């Protein structure tokens, strides 16, 4: 898994690439919670994620809750079909704001 | 490489060829050939003592075969070290007969146990994963209870939550609904279907119950005294009987409407204090 954090139009775009799984989700969690701590809207770009397991989903849940408490926006971008199925299994698709593309997210989050 | 891979097809998650096994001098499996395909629910049926549980034990690499090959997730179990089998087993979920939870631990601790054993995840991540799986098995909010406080059906569902906590590629279930009343076991069938659909797992279920088999199986393997009597689709098996079976199929639970904020607090444990559980 690789990750990147960039500022774009007032939002922080956290991008992950590859697999987010048991091995590397502790790192993903750290990156996400740090981003949320900066108190800017956070967009998590999942377009280059090939697989995310439930440990990765759990990190997203924890980060979303941290963002809610801090009063900052937190949304997912480009969720793959397989990741969406995992979210739907636990009915988490109802909890996250999900944008189809980064452009959509940037337009609405800022 | 397995035979399928050699001719350019994708290998199935489970491929068993001519498996012969013994307990002591007694031959138990007498040349079993079967496979389990990606995303498939394979139901294993057969009389008591026909070798169903034995087959599962061999698929899990718990015993060494006398002869024949067992390939699981592309690996020949016969050629693996103990360590390699242990690693491979992380990708296999197991919900065995009895569905035993440790009685000295809470439901939540039971479910997190594989994560403690096999991962370095943060405690908060483990707890959310456990709560997500409890949601999936309809046991939301039960993490602080002790197993003794749950009904039989709830214990089975908790055992399922534990079996899938690591997002396995294959799930093995040995008589998951043994001893449960029909309504409860039907709910368990729904759960098995839901897990397969959402997680794309392959699932092997040993069951005695014809109704359950017809409801969940893509294919059925019937064992008889250690030999394969029948392998085929539900349709093929159904043709052997008829109308009675039709109305047993295709019952699924309806999704409920939920409050996103409340749900998020529940998963992150934020409202534990006001908790509804004692
Ligand atoms: N650990 C064991 N040692 C010796 N014999 C066993 C052992 N486990 C099972 N058997 C025997 O193997 C046969 C198949 O058992 P099993 O696979 O448990 O049957 P099933 O699950 O189909 O009821 C039975 O005759 C049983 O007595
Ligand atoms: Mg058995």
Q: How many CA atoms lie within 13 A of B29 on its CB side?
A: 30
B6 — pLDDT class (breaks 50, 70, 90):
low
Report the distance separating Cα B190 and Cα B170, nearest Å.
17
* In chain A, domain spans: 2-109
Give the pLDDT score at B9: 67
pTM of this structure: 0.83
Q: Does A81 touch chain B (CB under 8 A)?
A: no
Provide mean pLDDT across the span B129-148.
94
Return per-residue pLDDT of chain A as tens, 110 residues.
Answer: 999 999 999 999 999 999 999 999 999 999 999 999 998 999 999 999 988 999 999 999 999 999 999 999 999 999 988 788 878 877 899 999 999 999 999 998 76
Give the pLDDT score at B46: 85
Which of A53, A68, A88 has its CB closest to that of B167? A53
How many angstroms does the Cα of residue A18 sit away from the middle of ligand 1?
44
Quick one: which of A14, A87, A10 has its CA closest to A48?
A: A14
Report the distance separating Cα B101 and Cα B174, nearest Å.
15
Contacts of B132 in chain A (CB under 8 A): 54, 57-58, 61, 90, 92
Report the distance separating Cα B231 and Cα B137, nearest Å.
30
Q: Which two tokens stand for residue B2?
A: 């397995």
Q: Which two tokens stand for residue A15?
A: 């991008």
- Ligand 1 residue neighbourhood (C-beta within 6 Å): B 23, 28, 46, 48-54
Per CATH, the number for A2-109 is 3.30.750.24
CB contact at 8 A, B237 and A69:
no
- The residue ranges of DSSP E strands in B132-212, in sequence order, are 170-174, 202-206
Contacts of B191 in chain A (CB under 8 A): none
CB contact at 8 A, B234 and B214:
yes
Q: Does B253 touch chain A (CB under 8 A)?
A: no
Pocket test for ligand 1, best of B54, B55, B178, B221 (most atoms within 8 A of CB): B54
CB contact under 8 A, A22 and B194: no
B197 — pLDDT class (breaks 50, 70, 90):
confident
How many angstroms does the Cα of residue B23 sit away from the middle of ligand 2?
15
CA angle B34, B40, B43 (to 5 degrees): 60
Residue B187: CB atoms within 10 A of its CB come to: 17
CB contact under 8 A, A90 and B128: no
- H and E: helices and strands count for chain B: 11, 10
Torsional sign, CA B194, B198, B199, B203: positive
DSSP SS3 for B275: coil
B245 — pLDDT class (breaks 50, 70, 90):
very low
CB contact at 8 A, B114 and B162:
yes
pLDDT digits (tens, 9 = 90+) for B50-108: 999 999 999 999 999 999 999 999 999 999 999 999 999 999 999 876 557 999 999 99
* In chain B, domain spans: 98-167
Containing A62, the helix (H) or strand (E) segment is helix A54-70
Report the distance separating Cα B209 and Cα B178, nearest Å.
9
Q: What ipTM, to 2 d.p.?
A: 0.94
Does the pLDDT value for residue B247 go beyond 50?
Answer: no
CB contact under 8 A, A62 and B195: no
Most confident of B160-174, B224-238, B255-269: B160-174
Q: Does A30 touch chain B (CB under 8 A)?
A: no
CB contact at 8 A, B146 and B106:
yes
Q: Does B24 touch chain A (CB under 8 A)?
A: no
Instruction: Nearest chain A residue to B263 by CA: give it.
Output: A95
């Amino acid at each position: 898994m690789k990750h990147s954090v960039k500022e774009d139009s007032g939002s922080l775009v956290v991008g992950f690439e590859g697999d987010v799984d048991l091995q590397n989700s502790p790192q993903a969690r750290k990156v996400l919670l740090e981003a949320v701590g900066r108190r800017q809207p956070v967009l998590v770009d999942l377009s280059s994620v090939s697989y995310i397991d439930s440990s990765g989903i759990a990190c997203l849940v924890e980060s979303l809750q941290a963002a809610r408490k801090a009063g900052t926006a937190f949304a997912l971008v480009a969720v793959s079909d397989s990741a969406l199925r995992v979210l739907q299994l636990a009915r988490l698709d109802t909890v996250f704001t999900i944008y189809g593309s980064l452009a959509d997210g940037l337009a609405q989050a800022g | 490489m397995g035979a399928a891979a050699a001719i350019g097809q994708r290998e199935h998650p489970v491929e068993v060829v001519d498996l012969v096994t013994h307990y002591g001098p007694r031959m138990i499996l007498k040349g079993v050939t079967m496979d389990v395909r990606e995303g498939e629910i394979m139901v294993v049926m057969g009389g008591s003592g026909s070798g169903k549980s034995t087959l599962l034990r061999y698929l899990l690499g718990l015993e060494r075969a006398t002869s024949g090959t067992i390939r699981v997730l592309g690996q020949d179990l016969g050629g693996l070290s103990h360590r390699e089998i242990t690693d491979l087993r992380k990708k296999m979920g197991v919900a065995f007969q009895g569905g035993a939870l440790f009685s000295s631990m809470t439901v939540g601790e039971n479910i997190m146990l594989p994560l403690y054993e096999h991962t370095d995840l943060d405690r908060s991540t483990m707890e959310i994963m456990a709560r997500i799986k409890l949601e999936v098995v309809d046991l939301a909010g039960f993490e602080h209870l002790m197993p003794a406080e749950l009904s039989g059906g709830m214990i089975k569902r908790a055992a399922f939550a534990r079996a899938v906590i690591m997002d396995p590629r294959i799930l093995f279930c040995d008589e998951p609904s043994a001893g449960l009343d029909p309504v409860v076991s039907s709910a368990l069938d729904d759960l098995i279907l839901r897990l397969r659909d959402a997680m794309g797992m392959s699932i092997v279920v040993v069951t005695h119950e014809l109704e359950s088999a017809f409801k969940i199986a893509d294919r059925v393997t019937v064992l008889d005294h250690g030999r394969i009597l029948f392998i085929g689709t539900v349709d093929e098996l159904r043709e052997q009987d008829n109308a009675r079976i039709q109305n047993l199929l295709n019952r699924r639970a309806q999704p409920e409407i939920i409050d996103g904020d409340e749900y998020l607090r529940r998963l992150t444990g934020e409202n534990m204090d006001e908790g509804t559980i004692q």
